[in-house]
Amino acid sequence: MAKSDDKQFIIPFVGLKQGRHEFSFDITDTFFETFEYSIIQEGEVHVDFTLDKKDTMMVGEFQLDGVVKTPCGRCNDTMDVTIEGSFRLVYKFGTEDEEDESIVIVYPEEFEINIKHSILEFMTVLLPSRTVHEEGECNQEMLDYLEQYMVNSIEDDEDDDFDDEYDDEDFNELEDEGVEDENDADMNDEDVDPRWAALKNLKR
């Protein structure tokens, strides 16, 4: 499996002067292959990153623009999704953790930042809440299979409901008979429903 060069996403800020510094990245398929659980499987995305270094912090600005591939929410085939957006992260020098997700703590012993995971997170955020093909573009064979599976599942559930209803009613009738007839103990055990036998044992 090919791997993207992680080094290009690592920025050694110690050697940078105060002020704005610009970087650019062209994301390709190999970038996503290094993330085992990414819902984005492929893509071509251009990222412009500006790092503004100050005395007590650095401000990172991300601009993303491109096309990624992700599974369709209807047929599960991959589909192209256009993404575009901008984000801002504050890299704060210090030792105390922050609850604000837009603030990243940079500890005194650190001398570089890795923006690779941030780029993936931003691309994922830019995806629509539900990604589906346009009408008529889905994998029809997969849709037919899913429809058949859903119909079969519904029928199975209905059969289970019928069995449950039958068992409950049958059991209730047996319970009523037990209250009204005290001579059932004389019946042949082979002729007695095992559920009724269990009920009689409970009543003793």
Burial class (CB in 10 A: 0-12, 13-18, 19+), 155: exposed
> What average pLDDT does the segment 116-139 reach?
89
Q: Kindly list the distances between the CA atom of residue 142 and the CA atoms of 100, 145, 174, in Å, as whole numbers in the listed order.
A: 42, 5, 48
Backbone phi, psi, residue 95, to 5°: -130, -10
For residue 29, name the pLDDT band (cuts at 50, 70, 90). Answer: very high
Q: Give 32's contacts (C-beta < 8 A, 6+ positions apart).
A: 38, 40, 41, 42, 43, 120
User: Token pair for residue 51?
Assistant: 């790092």
Predicted TM-score (pTM) of the model is 0.68
Report yes or no: 135 and 32 within 8 Å, Cβ to Cβ.
no
Whether 100 shows a pLDDT value over 80: the answer reads yes
pLDDT reading at 170 higher than 50: yes
Beta partners for 170?
none
pLDDT-derived band at 180 (thresholds 50, 70, 90) equals very low
pLDDT in tens, 8-23: 999 999 989 999 999 9
Over 70: is that where the pLDDT of 87 sits?
yes
The strand ranges marked E within the chain are 10-11, 19-27, 42-53, 57-71, 78-93, 103-106, 113-114
Q: What is the pLDDT of residue 18?
A: 94
To which residue do tokens 């499996």 refer? Answer: 1
For residue 198, pLDDT over 80 is answered with no
d(CA 202, CA 174): 13
